[in-house]
A and B are shown apart, each in its own frame.
Chain A
Amino acid sequence: MPKSIYLTLIAICFSCMLLQQAQAEVITIAGSSTIQKFIKLAANVYSSRHPDIQFIIGSGGSTAGFAKVIDGRIQIGMMSRELTDDEKKKLGSIQHLVVGLDAVVPVVSREVFQAGIKLVDLPTLARIYQGKIVSWNQLGGANRKILVADKEVHRGTRFVFAMAVFGDPKARATKRAIILGDNQEVLNLVSSSDQAIGYVSFAYASGDVKALSLKVDDKVISPTLSNIRNGSFPMARKLYLLVPKNVPGYVADFVRFVQSEEAMALVKKAGYIPVN
């Protein structure tokens, strides 16, 4: 009789283990589309090794990512800007982990670049975005109006751009500016036009759009890896993950993977700069 009870118990244990194995764990992530590019790569690699782990990766911008992780709607928040003072207060026990570096790079349509606009300084950028400079010939380019592409206020990229250009992350641009969402929309616009300017994350600044060098203190600083890493490029930023301390083990494990040496190669692949 006791024998059969043991056997039953063992059978139950086994079935529990099997059930546990069969149930897939889900990791929810949201926030900056900038970091999303890297996190998707990392998630692909990670889930190929852990088939039981599934990912739901949303974007929505750094601010949204912060809000969701604070509310506990997601397990990991992505943030591509520094925390505001308000946010720092709310952060509490949530970890604030750097996974990479990025820069916000001003980009123009190829035709604009080819017409001679290759360099800009921050005040000039400010005037373009404020609508004070409206034609490229004002800057020595072709006689074409400037089509200004701005980003939504809650975007980390805009936060960095506005801080650098206007000194205020919430500073408004000209009303004529076309307000877009993620980096790809900016790319679509700038590349399909022959008179547009916009700004994107360093990783997107290639192909059909042309990145402008910045003139700071009479020095021309190109958006290169070394300039970003050494801090000379002014619109650089850190990429953060927000991870609450009490996340389940499998989430913590993924976070460890994201910070690993291997993941740094993925950061590079995503077009960003590894931390070390």
Chain B
Amino acid sequence: MLKKRTLEFPVAVAVAVAVAVAVALSQLKSHLNEEAITNLTTVNNSIQISLHRQIREISLSSQQILKNELVYQNIYKLLQKPDISKGERFNLRELLAKHIFPQGYKGFYLIGKNHKILISMKEHDTHKPPPSVVLNAIERLNQGEPFIVTHAFVFDGKTSMWGIASVMNDTGKVFGYFALSLGADFRFSSTTLTSGISYETGETYLVDENGLMLSESRFKEHLVMTGLLAEGEPSTKHLRVADPGVNLLEANNEVELPKDKWPLTFGVQQALTTHRMGWSTTGYRDYRGVPVIGVWRWDVPLQAAIITEIDEDEALDKYVYVRNVMLALLLVVVIGSVVAVMAYSRLRVRSEREANYHRNLLLESTAGAIYGIDMEGRCTFVNREFLSLLGYEEQEVLGQTIHSLIHHSYPDGRPYPVEECNIYKAHQNQSRIHRDDESFWTKDGEEIKVEYWAQPLLEDGKAVGSVVTFVDITEKRMLECEKEQLEKQVHHSQRLESLGILAGGIAHDFNNILAAILGNASLISSYVMKDPLRAKERADRIVQSAETAGVLCKQMLAYSGKGQFILKSISLSPLVEEMTHLLEVSIDKSVVIKYYLADRLPKVMVDEAQIQQVVMNLVTNANEAIEGKSGVISITTGVMYADEQYLSDCHAGEHTSAGRFVYVEVSDNGCGMDKETVQKIFDPFFTTKVTGRGLGMSATLGIVRGHHGALKVYSEKGRGTTFKLLLPISKEEHIHTDTATKQSNILPPRFLEKAVLVVDDEETVREMACMMLEELGFKTIPASDGEEALSLYRRHQGDICLVLTDLTMPHMDGRDLFIRLKQLNSDCHIILSSGYNSQEAIQQFSGKGLAGFIQKPYTEDTLRQEIIKVLGEESDNA
């Protein structure tokens, strides 16, 4: 995959470069072809011009010879003679030889009107007919052409060319014809083999209408080598310019057709058939079979095709060179980019491998077991911890449906159908799943209790599977069970311990009671007869003592209970009150218990016996902290608001959340504890007592947590200790008051959601008032003194519809607050509450705009009625 993707780049580069190279090469090729054609055309043109000039020059020199008076007279005379003697012929030869040979000609021919040679350099030419080429030329002369240079022809065994002119008198009458045999310098070949040659292989040659070459080939060696010409044989008139079909210069090529069946070369065919100038850039075979690029034309005065050609190889050698260079470069580019990409991909593979290795190392080394599953629930990955926990080999799980392997049954052994599998819901619903109540099953069928997290694997927002992390919590679960058991046992034995202490106290009380009963009984027996009144008095005492004993028994029964956890909605103050006797018998005589129990506390849902035990524990601990000296234990109950910050300082259960609590506070002025001891007091079996078993406080905390409560400890070495037990207010309490409120709530709706500022330095009173007001549908803002109240009022003035304030407070009392509030807002509704009687208070505020007064302690009803009265008036006024 990686390789394929990384190779795309060099392939793309190579293709792009190849296309660019191909385009450039084709441009270059066509440019070079055009250039070659231009050059060939130039050569061809110049050859044509040269040949025409050559003809003109021959014509001129011929005319000059004829213009010589002596020569002309002699010729004129001889042409008119019917018979010419040998001597006359010799004389003319001598005469003309002086004129023609120094000019490079090879001889002359005087031809009569009978088309017979009359005189030439050779005696035996006399009376011979000239060759047909010459006769044709004579025909053209007769038609009016002034001078003709014939094509090459073979005469008397030699290749010859003649320049012929008519011999005429001043009137234009023709007497005969005078021909000069052209020497080598005058032949066409002298021009074509010099100016017609270019570069290594460029040549120009002439071809007659039959396709025979009329000039000498540049490549005689090739022609002799290939057998097209014999050694020493001229190409002029001997070579048919035909295409052999194969390159004859290449050794292995065999010619198919006989020589005379070869078609004329493309250039010759074109020149002969079209009689026009033309060229071929695509190339064709010349008479050697070599591919050439050529230009051709038909020349009318010469009656021949002038063909200029160059070997394609040479014309395009620049192209071939550039092409080879470019191909080499292309190859270098391709190889280079492949090498670079391979190196890069190798580097990437290596770094990926390293990254994978580290990732795998992480996965393998992590304490959690991890496995991956695809959308069908088949295993795609496992780590080492998975294998060691479940006892499988990697190949046994990969690709398998994981549910049926390890997750097939519920913890209770019931089969766990795959459709219900919670883990699969992770990718099915694309949601995170966390459970700690299910089990996995090992290869050996053993159960492992697990806590797992299943997380969907998303690719582009689409689930492709999920990853599951789990830990073995079997041991943890066992420990929890053990702990639970232990706690139960602790509670039990702690109870027994308390009972022991209690029993001691009770035995003492009972003894006292029994002593009183026995004493009174014995006195009765002595008085019954003597003084029946006194006896009755004693009998009454006995009854009293028996009643006291009865109360004691009742309390013991309540305390021991049956160990059952029975939740009841109760109020804490009466609970403590009920325990007073029990508590008093459990403490030293030198210790005094002071009770500060709030009235009308909200109820809490608790197990009475357990809370009693807690209070008992706290009191006995306080008693022991006083260490037999004289001391005081205070037991306070009340209501308070505990926020998160307060709770974080407490020993609280997991489910304890901020809110209003009812509390029982047990303080002593005993020895106190240092910080280290405070930290340890809740550990089981930690004790500072000689006889204790160290279970009291741990049991206490267990109970508190069980009630979603909290326990605050404040201790100072040498000063004393305070334990504050917080219990959440029962919901039933709310429901109960809700219904009550509904029945009698006649508040105008505009006050709902408005706030009441509750000012009281006493927390319980303040919180109780807040609770009552909230039940009425108000929001509440509590303040502990006048100054705080004033600043809160400034901040929330718009929300506050009523201020409920205590009269006696530190810092700023109710009176001052009243005055300041009225200064801020004269329409402010203020209800005063106080322990003083209303008359006294109202007197103090008469005529000052006091909205209402409420006598402490007040009930919900009283408060409600007072508020309705105040706000109702307001509503009526409005």
Contact = CB atoms under 8 A, between A and B. Distances in A.
B718 interface: no
Interface in B389-405: none
Interface in A177-215: 178-181, 184-185, 188-189, 191-195, 208
B89 to A, nearest CB: 10
B93 A193 contact: yes
Interface stretch (B98-106, B246-254, B332-340): B98-106
B105 A188 contact: yes
Contact of A188 (B90, B94, B101, B123): B101
B675 interface: no
A197 to B, nearest CB: 13
Interface string A123-159: 0000000000000000000001101010000000000
Interface string B93-128: 110011001101111000000000000011110000
Contacts of A176: 94
Interface string A108-135: 0001000000000000000000000000
Contacts of B124: 111, 194
Contacts of B158: 208
Q: Which of B101, B107, B123, B124 has the most CB of A within 10 A?
A: B101
Given A147-B90, A147-B94, A193-B93, A181 B102 contact: yes
Contacts of B104: 184-185, 188
B777 interface: no
B235 interface: no
Contact of A194 (B105, B122, B184): B122
Given A194-B124, A195-B123, A189 B94 contact: no
B872 interface: no
Contacts of B181: 192
B102 A185 contact: yes
Contacts of A194: 121-124
Q: Which of B102, B181, B184 has the most CB of A within 10 A?
A: B102
A208 B184 CA distance: 14
Contacts of B107: 188, 192-193
A147 B98 contact: no
Nearest to B105: A188
Contacts of A188: 101, 104-107, 183
B121 A193 contact: yes
Interface size class of B (residues with CB under 8 A): 20 to 34
B128 to A, nearest CB: 13
B102 A192 contact: no
Contacts of B93: 147, 193
Contacts of B94: 147, 176, 178
Contacts of B98: 178-179
Contacts, number: 54
Nearest to B90: A145
Given A192-B107, A194-B123, A178 B90 contact: no
A251 B852 CA distance: 144
B358 to A, nearest CB: 57
A213 B94 CA distance: 26
B747 to A, nearest CB: 105
Interface in A239-270: none
A194 B125 CA distance: 10
Contacts of B97: 147, 149, 178, 189, 193
Contacts of B105: 188
Interface in B69-86: none
A181 B104 CA distance: 10
Most chain A beta carbons < 10 A, residue from B97, B98, B105, B183: B97
Nearest to A143: B86
Contacts of A185: 101-102, 104
B368 to A, nearest CB: 73
A249 B104 CA distance: 37
Contact of A189 (B87, B101, B123): B101
A144 B124 CA distance: 11
Nearest to B184: A184
B65 to A, nearest CB: 14
A144, A176, A188, A192: which has the most chain B beta carbons within 10 Å? A192
Nearest to A185: B101
A169 B241 CA distance: 52
Interface string A85-106: 0000000000000000000000
A180 B101 CA distance: 7
A194 B119 CA distance: 13
Interface string B567-602: 000000000000000000000000000000000000
B91 to A, nearest CB: 9
Nearest to A194: B122
A175 B104 CA distance: 21
Given A145-B90, A188-B106, A178 B123 contact: no
Contacts of B87: 145
B130 to A, nearest CB: 15
A84 B102 CA distance: 27
A192 B90 contact: no
Most chain B CB within a 10 A radius of its CB, from A111, A185, A195: A185
Interface string B181-197: 10110000000000000
A149 B94 CA distance: 10
A23 to B, nearest CB: 24
A192 B123 contact: no
A125 B101 CA distance: 22
B435 to A, nearest CB: 84
25 contacts: A111-B122, A111-B124, A144-B123, A149-B97, A178-B94, A178-B97, A178-B98, A178-B101, A179-B98, A179-B102, A180-B101, A180-B102, A181-B102, A185-B102, A185-B104, A188-B104, A188-B106, A188-B107, A189-B121, A191-B106, A193-B122, A194-B121, A194-B124, A195-B90, A195-B123
Given A193-B93, A193-B97, 17 more contacts: A111-B122, A147-B90, A178-B101, A179-B102, A180-B101, A181-B102, A185-B101, A185-B104, A188-B101, A188-B106, A188-B183, A191-B106, A192-B107, A193-B121, A194-B122, A194-B123, A208-B158
Query: Which are the 9 A-B pairs with shortest beta-carbon distances?
Result: A192-B107, A192-B121, A194-B122, A193-B121, A178-B97, A189-B101, A188-B106, A145-B90, A185-B101
Interface of A: 111, 144-145, 147, 149, 176, 178-181, 184-185, 188-189, 191-195, 208
